[in-house]
Structure 1
Amino acid sequence: MTTTTSSTASITSLGVGSGLDLESILESLEESKTTSLLDPITTQEESVEAEISAYGTLTSALDALQTAAEALADASLYESLSTSISGSGVAVSTSSDAVAGSYSIEVTQLAQAQSLATDGISDTSSTLGTGTLTLQVGDSDAVSITLDSSNNTLEGLRDAINAADAGVTATLVNDGSDTPYRLVLTSDSTGTESEMTVSYSSSDSSDLATSLFGNMTETVAAQDAELTINGIAITSQSNTVEEALQGVTLTLSATGSSQTLTIERDTDTILDAITSFVDAYNDFVATVDELTAYDADAGTAGELLGDSTTRRISTELASDLYSEIGSGTFTYLSQLGIGLESDGTLSIDEDTLQSALDDNIDAVSEFFIGTDESSGFITRMTDDLDNYLDEDTGLITAKTDSLDSKLDQLEERYEEKQALIDSEMERWREEFTELDTLISTLNSTADYLTTQFEALNSDD
């Protein structure tokens, strides 16, 4: 009889020893655990993330509404003016101090700066001599310039004057004659109060500079601007005329016949601001409707359906719209032609609103921004919006912080459940490996015994 020995093969892949599909069994077990333990957490995480995203959408709509409301809360909006002028040659700008009205303006003379010119010489590099040139503009401090070997040519003196900050600009002009080069001095300021005084002193009375500066010619006389406003004569040292009309700056560029300046309240800008606010509120309403919608046919719901925070915001802002404000001429939005529709949106009757702006803009301003004694409509609304949107203490910040915390907790639970599944799968793998090894050993023993029995039978 032949004797053989058997040995159990090392198990390198689960199921090889037993012939059973143990790997698939393990995968099914893991999938079952994932479905029962992890998938519900993932579903909750997706729901919370969707809610956070929905709050981001809601916040964007509220931010836009807040921006529009803040524009209406700016007191300068109701003081803004528009200007128009019938002719040309006069530009107009106004401050909030300007008074609405119609004004007749006629410019008869523009302000101009004085210019003085020396006689001509043949060469810009000719030596002028040595001495002191003194320049004075109006009653400002005199500035002295020393002529020496570093600057005593026309070019050098021009550069020295321009660097001296004397309120005078020097240029060289070529008049095309036999002695063409002339030094021209021009006051930096217009008007008769900016006339120049030029003097030159030298120990050598025969030097060229003495002759040049002793015989200067006035080529342009200093001149004030002259105009009339509603028949009243006005003079100005500059072509920029300030406060001849309260809060108005006139910039003159040409003379001409009488023209009409019209200053009026800029109701178009106010109307645009109100329209922007209405549009922003309606966008907010549409956003809330979308986020809280329920489709019975499809069985789908908006991410914020039933959310108490969203409901509170909508209710409070809607309440601001129809609540009475103050005790002025206008106490309700509807009196301005701004109505609340059945779907919660706002509409504008432009005729009613324009009439209010044209006839009683101060009362419109009082309604929106209030007085020292009482708050206005926009004041109340911006207070509510600040309460919702404040980055530190706002209602939405508190809500999203809570959702973020909930998301962190779900992530921790997910990790805990995943670790539990991993541990359980490892235990099952070890037990399956032992089973695989045992079955492999039993199979090897069975094979050995079968071989021995066959050998015994063959001996017979």
Structure 2
Amino acid sequence: MSRITFGGLSSGLDTNALINGLLEVERQPIVQKEQRIKTLEQVKDAWRDINMRLRNLRSTVQELCNKENFLSKQAASTNTAHVQATADTTAENATYEVRVNKLATNHTVAMKSALGKSITEPLELAGKFTLNGVEIEVESTDSLTDLQNKINNSGAGVEASIVAGHLILKSGTSGAKGKMEMSHVSGQNVLESLGIYGSGGFYNETLAARDAELTINGISVTRSSNEIDDLVEGVTFTLYAEGGESTFIRISTATEKAVAAVSAFVEQYNSVNEFIREKLKKPDKNEVGGVGGIGLLQGDTTLMKIERTLRDLVHSPVSDYQKKYFSFASLGVTSIDRDGYLQFNAEKLINALEDDPEAVYDLFNFEINDEDGVGTGQFDGLGVRMDNYLKRLLVTGQDSMGRTMYPISVQQEQAIQRRIDELQRRIEIREERLLRYEERLIRQFTSLEKFISEMQSKGEDLARMITQLSNQQKQN
């Protein structure tokens, strides 16, 4: 709490300025501690930033362990109007010649003539019939719309619709096996009365049940569906039109995802590397705590270890991996300079993927086999190793003794906060001492002013006495 004092009334000295000057000298240790707290807060912010960048790096590393990014396949068609295809990761790179002779169709029948009345009026027909083995009962009050709904809700696997007064029935199953079966059961013959089915069969079969017929690489095949997934492992062919020239389907590795994944990793790694180097570098005298906090963590052994470990993980080959691609460098990821920044040659990765995508993926994430060559369910590789290391830095876990291990940034922030708390405690002690010192100075200067005032008063009394004596002598 500030005090109001009136200094120098007797002495003429600016005692307030003298006191403030003395207090300012005594306050320097507090100023230094406050500046240290400010720097430590910047260090905390730096560790939060490091944590965020490492988390982003881990996300890109996990994409390196994603099988879809390296083993995805793409299928290209020379005539998408006739045949298209999709491929999953199990498909082999190859080209297939496909010729569609016939498309598979869904059996479709219709009434031979329009109803002749509103589709909402009663049909005045009462009877039972079966459709694909499902019995359907028609009441005399049912309209054509009611019959449509009963068929659709029957579970017979038939889609009923009404077009221009015609009831149309379409099998839900394509191919010859999807041919609809109908029969009269009892009552009025509803199917015959509506002109759908009689003793001679279907009155108006608009589309016969037919299988797809095609040749693939010269081999004739027949399938019940136009979507065929059992001809080539991992490839699904979809037929759209028949006739015409052959369509060529080319299955190849979809390299775009892999290139994007590695590019993202290199970019984020360089971001982490640049930030760490900036914090560890020996700054110029005007850089510490300045823009970017250059040199804030100079000499920090924890951060130095992180930098060194990340660099080792990137540049060290997988020694126990017996394939042609055994390091980042073999996939086009190399250092630019001694500072550890990475560059990426995408063409080298693309060539490796076209050559052996499994080997490329396994470099990042391969299963460890036992002595008999059987998978153990444990995984290793560049991506796995880096992800495991980053996980230890970023995720709360337990050590071998069951103790909670917090993320490295949390550990650092907690340690820094303890130092800040201690500095604040010392500042409070100093502030209390400074307050007492100020009170003592005020008392001392007040006493001085009082003493001077008393001396001045005595001097004035003495002067009056001398004047009186002098006047008396003159009178005598």
TM-score higher than 0.5 here? Answer: yes
Match of 2:114 among 99, 110, 120: 120
Match of 1:9 in 2: none
The counterpart of 1:232, out of the listed 219, 228, 240, is 219
| Deviation (angstroms), 1:281 | 2.1
> Which residue identity lines up with residue 114 of structure 2 in the other structure?
G
Q: Which residue of 2 aligns with 1:403?
A: 416
Aligned pair partner of 1:316 in 288, 305, 309: 309
TM-score (norm 1): 0.79
Percent of aligned pairs with the same amino acid: 23
Contact 1:133/1:198, CA 8 A, preserved across alignment: no
1:385 maps to: 390
Paired residues for 1:41-440 under 5 Å: 41-88=33-80, 89-118=82-111, 119-124=113-118, 125-137=120-132, 142-149=134-141, 152-174=142-164, 181-201=165-185, 203-204=187-188, 210-214=193-197, 216-256=203-243, 257-296=245-284, 298=286, 300=288, 301-325=294-318, 326-328=320-322, 329-343=324-338, 344-350=340-346, 352-373=348-369, 375-391=380-396, 392-422=405-435, 425=438, 431=443
Question: What's the CA shift string for 1:7-34, capped at 9, x where partnerless?
Answer: xxxxx96439958866666655655554
Which structure exhibits the higher relative contact order, with contacts defined as CA atoms closer than 8 Å and separated by 6 or more residues? 1
CA distance in 2, matches of 1:398, 1:356: 41
Closer/same/farther in 2, CA of residues 415 and 223 from structure 1, 3 Å limit:
farther
Q: Which amino acid aligns with 1:285?
A: N
Name the structure 2 match of 1:4. Answer: none
Q: What is the identity, as a one-letter code, of the residue corresponding to 1:122?
A: G
Which residue identity is paired with 2:149?
D
Q: Give the count of matched residue pairs.
A: 429
Partner Cα separation in structure 2 for residue 97 and residue 132 of structure 1: 54
Partner Cα distance (1:132, 1:56) in 2? 78
Deviation at 1:50, TM superposition (A): 0.9
Query: What secondary structure does 1:244 align onto?
Result: strand
Judging changes above 3 Å, is the alpha-carbon distance between structure 1 residues 203 and 352 closer, same or farther for their aligned structure 2 residues?
Answer: closer
Once the two structures are TM-superposed, the CA of residue 48 in structure 1 deviates from its matched residue by 0.9
Shift of 1:54: 1.4
Aligned-pair RMSD on alpha carbons? 3.8
Q: CA deviation at 1:105?
A: 0.9
Q: Distance in 1 between matches of 2:163 and 2:321?
A: 72
Letter in 1 for 2:116: S
Evaluate the alpha carbon distance shift between residue 310 and residue 213 of structure 1 in structure 2; reply closer, same or farther with a 3 A threshold. Answer: same
| Superposition deviation, residue 283 in structure 1 | 2.2
The one-character-per-residue Cα deviations of 1:299-340 (angstroms, maximum 9, x if unpaired) are: 645211111111111112222233342252344443444333
1:242·1:249 contact (CA, 8 Å) conserved in 2?
A: yes
> For residues 283 and 22 of structure 1, what CA distance do their matches in structure 2 show?
57
Q: Once the 2 structures are TM-superposed, how far is the Cα of residue 46 of structure 1 from its aligned partner?
A: 0.9
C-alpha change, 1:156 and 1:287, in structure 2 (3 Å) is same
Which stretches in structure 2 are left out of the alignment for 5+ residues? 289-293, 370-378, 397-404, 469-476
Partner of 2:373: none
Worse-matched range after superposition: 328-337 or 38-47: 328-337
* Contact 1:200–1:214, Cα closer than 8 Å, also in 2: no
Partners of 2:429 and 2:76 in 1: CA distance? 74
Give the drift of 1:122.
1.9
Change (3 A) 1:75 1:162: closer
Q: Return the offset for 1:245.
A: 1.3
8 Å CA contact retained: 2:101, 2:213: yes
* Separation (CA, whole Å) in 2 of partners of 1:73 and 1:213: 59
| C-alpha distance in 2 between matches for 1:71 and 1:109 | 43
Quote the Cα distance in structure 2 between the aligned partners of 1:208 and 1:63: 68
Q: Give the Cα–Cα distance (whole angstroms) in 2 for the partners of residues 113 and 299 of structure 1.
A: 77
Give, in angstroms, the shift of residue 423 of structure 1.
5.6
Q: CA deviation at 1:201?
A: 4.8
The alignment partner of 2:124 has SS state of: coil
Answer yes or no: is the 8 Å Cα contact 2:8–2:15 preserved in 1.
Answer: no
Q: How far apart, CA to CA, are the structure 2 residues paired with 1:227 and 1:272?
A: 38
What is the identity, as a one-letter code, of the residue corresponding to 1:172? Answer: I
Residue 135 of structure 1 contacts residue 196 of structure 1 at CA under 8 Å; is this kept in 2? Answer: no
- How far 1:86 moved relative to its partner? 1.2
Any idea what SS the aligned residue of 2:354 has?
Answer: helix
> Aligned partners of 1:184, 1:110: CA distance in 2, in Å?
21
Tell me how far 1:252 sits from its aligned partner.
Answer: 2.0
User: What is the CA–CA distance in structure 2 between the aligned matches of 1:58 and 1:378, rounded to whole Å?
Assistant: 20
Q: Distance in 2 between matches of 1:330 and 1:132?
A: 74
Measured after TM superposition, the shift of residue 63 of structure 1 is 2.3
Q: Secondary structure at the match of 2:368?
A: coil
Q: Give the letter aligned to residue 224 of structure 2.
A: Q
Change (3 A) 1:47 1:104: same
Q: Report if aligned partners of 1:145, 1:164 keep a CA contact under 8 Å in 2.
A: no
- Note closer, same or farther for the CA distance 1:236–1:425 as it changes in structure 2 (3 Å cut): farther
Gaps of 5+ in 1: 1-11, 175-180
Distance 1:13 1:314 in 2: 57
